[in-house]
């Protein structure tokens, strides 16, 4: 199927499902669209008992979408830039210590905790997997998804200092998580080759430090260009060019595009740049444009996630493994957050039950599915893809629907 046809069908479905959600369900967009798409997909499966024409066509349609490439190489940069652009930069500076520890040490600890636990659990239920493949799963499932988190926190009414920690962690741990995954992937892809720690450190440093440096450069260039003119049309186009050109450069030089886009978005969106480089008109257009891009890509992304169910190998043991993984992942996240919170609790004012809220509010989303899709057959791709899908669906629908009342209940007396 031609790319134009695929995009057209996704946009039309997103518009219809988005309308149904806003008109009737009134759920956060990430939750509503996934729920409606899953119901739509299940209805097609039931209809296929009488006539499988539509089901066959939808399967062919889903197989025609390269989910991994579409999300990781195209959509993710736009979504992360949009999220970072609207993040409170001053609060982020205050909370930078715990956020950086959450996004680095926290993700690394969670990767090994989840990987180790799943190794014993999966082998214990008769599913033979290697430890390195379980570490790959730990790496792809540990980062929280900023795309899912941002949409739900907008309605949760969390205290700003807590919201900044959750959003800031989600923006940065996404890039770090992808780098950790790629590093372990490189080791797993060559099981007979001796592990060279220096090569791993070089790869990690190049991706992370290089990505942040590229983001700083992109943000500075965009700021200087916007400051030299007063034309909201061209200034909006400059931000688009920064994202698209920066992503291309990051891929060419093997730098972390997610970290580059987060860094660039934070620079362009901070108050100093806004006050000195943007007129009120420009600021309004830049904000509205990227808010629309955020919503538009979110609708398409979560429709695609819901439809991915059709191409999974939904064996009973695989689904059971996915259900077992849910409490394991939540417990490992809680443990991985404990040390950073303990270290900074005396320096910064933490909302009561921060660890519990961040554990439950750390939603998984499309990034985890995209990384799972990149696994090879030798890495137990089908098993970990089903486990990841189960975790993501329960995370978005289960945690997503309950995180707002939990935050309100636990932060009732917080300011």
Angle at 63 between CA 58 and CA 67, to 5 degrees: 115
pLDDT reported for residue 155 = 66
> Where in the chain are the domains?
3-63, 68-410
pLDDT reported for residue 301 = 92
pLDDT reported for residue 164 = 84
What confidence tens digit (pLDDT) does each residue in 173-220 have?
Answer: 888 998 899 889 988 887 777 666 777 777 788 898 999 999 999 999
pLDDT reported for residue 215 = 97
In this prediction the pTM is 0.93
- 100 close to 282: Cβ distance less than 8 angstroms: no
Which residues make Cβ contacts (< 8 Å) with residue 213, sequence separation at least 6? 255
pLDDT reported for residue 63 = 87
All residue ranges of the chain with pLDDT < 50 are: none
For residues 324 and 391, what is the distance between their CA atoms, to the nearest angstrom?
9
- 225 close to 273: Cβ distance less than 8 angstroms: no
Angle between helices 29-47 and 400-410 (to 10 degrees): 150
- 327 close to 117: Cβ distance less than 8 angstroms: no
Give the pair of three-digit tokens for residue 157: 């009414």
CATH class as words, domain 68-410: mainly alpha
What confidence tens digit (pLDDT) does each residue in 274-333 have?
Answer: 999 999 999 999 999 999 999 899 899 999 999 999 889 889 999 999 999 999 999 999
For residues 111 and 134, what is the distance between their CA atoms, to the nearest angstrom?
9
């Amino acid at each position: 199927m031609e790319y134009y046809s695929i995009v057209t069908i996704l946009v039309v479905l997103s518009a219809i499902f988005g309308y149904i959600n806003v008109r009737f369900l009134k759920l956060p967009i990430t939750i509503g669209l996934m729920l409606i798409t899953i119901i739509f997909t299940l209805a097609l499966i039931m209809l296929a008992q009488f006539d499988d024409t539509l089901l066959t066509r939808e399967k062919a349609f889903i197989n025609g979408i390269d989910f991994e490439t579409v999300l990781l190489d195209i959509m993710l940069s736009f979504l992360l830039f949009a999220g970072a652009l609207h993040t409170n930069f001053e609060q982020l500076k205050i909370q930078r210590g715990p956020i950086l520890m959450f996004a680095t040490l926290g993700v690394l600890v969670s990767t090994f905790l989840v990987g180790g636990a799943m190794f014993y659990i999966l082998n214990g239920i008769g599913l033979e997997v290697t430890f390195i493949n379980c570490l790959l799963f730990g790496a792809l499932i540990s980062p929280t998804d900023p795309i899912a988190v941002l949409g739900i926190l907008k309605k949760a009414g969390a205290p700003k200092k807590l919201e900044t920690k959750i959003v800031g962690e989600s923006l940065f741990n996404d890039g770090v998580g992808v780098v950790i995954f790629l590093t372990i992937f490189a080791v797993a892809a060559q099981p007979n080759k001796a592990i060279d720690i220096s090569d791993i450190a070089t790869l990690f440093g190049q991706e992370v430090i290089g990505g942040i440096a590229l983001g700083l450069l992109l943000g500075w260039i965009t700021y200087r260009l916007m400051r030299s003119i007063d034309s909201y049309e061209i200034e909006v186009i400059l931000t688009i060019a920064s994202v698209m050109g920066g992503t291309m450069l990051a891929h060419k030089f093997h730098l972390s595009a997610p970290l580059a886009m987060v860094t660039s978005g934070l620079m362009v969106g901070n108050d100093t740049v806004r006050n000195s480089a943007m007129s009120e008109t420009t600021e309004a257009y830049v904000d509205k444009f990227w808010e629309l891009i955020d919503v538009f890509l979110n609708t398409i992304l979560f429709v695609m996630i819901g439809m991915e169910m059709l191409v999974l190998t939904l064996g009973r043991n695989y689904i059971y493994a996915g259900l077992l993984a849910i409490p394991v992942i939540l417990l490992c996240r809680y443990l991985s957050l404990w040390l950073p919170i303990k270290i900074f609790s005396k320096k910064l004012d933490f909302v009561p039950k921060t660890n519990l809220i961040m554990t439950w509010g750390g939603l998984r989303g499309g990034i985890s599915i995209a990384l799972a899709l990149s696994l090879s057959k030798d890495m137990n791709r089908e098993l970990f893809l089903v486990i990841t899908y189960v975790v993501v669906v329960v995370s978005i629908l289960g945690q997503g629907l309950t995180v707002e009342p939990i935050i309100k209940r636990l932060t009732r007396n917080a300011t």
